[in-house]
Structure 1
Amino acid sequence: MAEIPPSSTSGGYMYTDDGESRVKSHHVLLFVIIVGCLLLFHFRHKIAEAHDRYRTRTRSQNGFYNRLSSFQDDVLRGFSSSNFDLEGNIESNDPRKGLSEEAKLEIEVIMNAKGKSFDEARLEYTQSELGRNGIHNDGLPNDPKLVTF
């Protein structure tokens, strides 16, 4: 079937000599893109939830969560004392995965470099963290506008 060449064009339609009208293909594409964007916007929360489930599943398959330590590992590495006893966490089957990795690394560096006990190293680490956050060793903020009664 031979196509009849268009004789006139008006708006988004092409009219042929026999009176038939056809929609231009770029208008159909634009309509599909707009509808797609509206659907993405409408279902954005469901898409985000599905993406989070995918990321969690991928991380657990790659062993990301297996690298996290437990309170038992922390006790074995010396991160426990009479003042900071982790045995209660172990006995109560605490669901958390142990102490913060960053804090443990810094405390371990302090213990090894300065020959301090765990409690002394933990105190020094805590005071340095307070200082980084603008809090004096006594617990008061270093804000010059602070008024206490």
Structure 2
Amino acid sequence: MSSELEGVESGEPSYFYGFNTAEIKSHHVLIFALIVAAGLLFHFRHKIAEAHDRYRTRQRARNGFYDRLNPFEQEIADGLSSSNFDLEANVNSGDQRKGLSTEAKAEIKTIMDNQGISFDEARLQYTRSQLNENNIDSNGMPKDPKLVTF
């Protein structure tokens, strides 16, 4: 015991209770790792949520969930319905049509995701772009300079 006290007085590293005070304690490493993991989870939370949504969609498709839906029910589930464009009435009336155009649905969903706007606003922008592509004015008149109306 006297040799331990001599080390303390001479400035050498001291040992108390069987461990060196300069050692890193394992619980400190664990706490640090948990803090880093929590920070990474918080930083990438949006990407984790998107990956989880993609996983759930794949699982539902694999289990045939979307096969059981009426095409209009699937579009309602995708967020392509509103009070101005009510697809619930189509479902309630037993409408047997194939649903909305595949290209239009994809374009409207892209507009909604990119610009962060509602379904009605995205549908309006899509309709205006389709009219413009077909050379039709916003009031419904063709832009053809040779057009003669009576």
Query: So what's the TM-score if we normalise by structure 2?
Result: 0.52
Structure with the higher fraction of residues in strand conformation: 1
1:89-117 CA-partner distances (Å, limit 9, x unpaired): 00111111211110000000000101111
Name the counterpart of 2:84: 83
Distance 2:96 2:72 in 1: 10
When residues 93 and 69 of structure 1 are mapped into structure 2, their CA distance, relative to the original with a 3 A threshold, is closer
Name the counterpart of 1:45: none
Name the counterpart of 2:149: 148
Name the counterpart of 1:93: 94
SS in structure 2 at match of 1:96: coil
How far did 1:143 drift? 0.6
Structure with the higher fraction of residues in helix conformation: 2
Q: Unaligned stretches of 5+ in structure 1?
A: 1-65
The percent identity for this pair of structures is: 59
Distance 1:93 1:81 in 2: 19
1:41-76 CA-partner distances (Å, limit 9, x unpaired): xxxxxxxxxxxxxxxxxxxxxxxxx6x970000001
SS in structure 2 at match of 1:106: helix
User: Which amino acid in 2 is paired with 1:130?
Assistant: L
When residues 87 and 119 of structure 1 are mapped into structure 2, their CA distance, relative to the original with a 3 A threshold, is same
Distance 1:69 1:109 in 2: 23
Runs of 4+ in 1 over 6 A off after TM superposition: none
How far did 1:138 drift? 1.2
Name the counterpart of 2:127: 126
Name the counterpart of 1:71: 72
How far did 1:133 drift? 0.9
Asked if 1:116 is matched to 2:113, the reply is no
Q: Unaligned stretches of 5+ in structure 2?
A: 1-66
The answer (yes or no) to whether the contact 2:70–2:91 under 8 Å persists in 1 is no
Distance 2:105 2:76 in 1: 11
How many equivalent pairs are there? 83
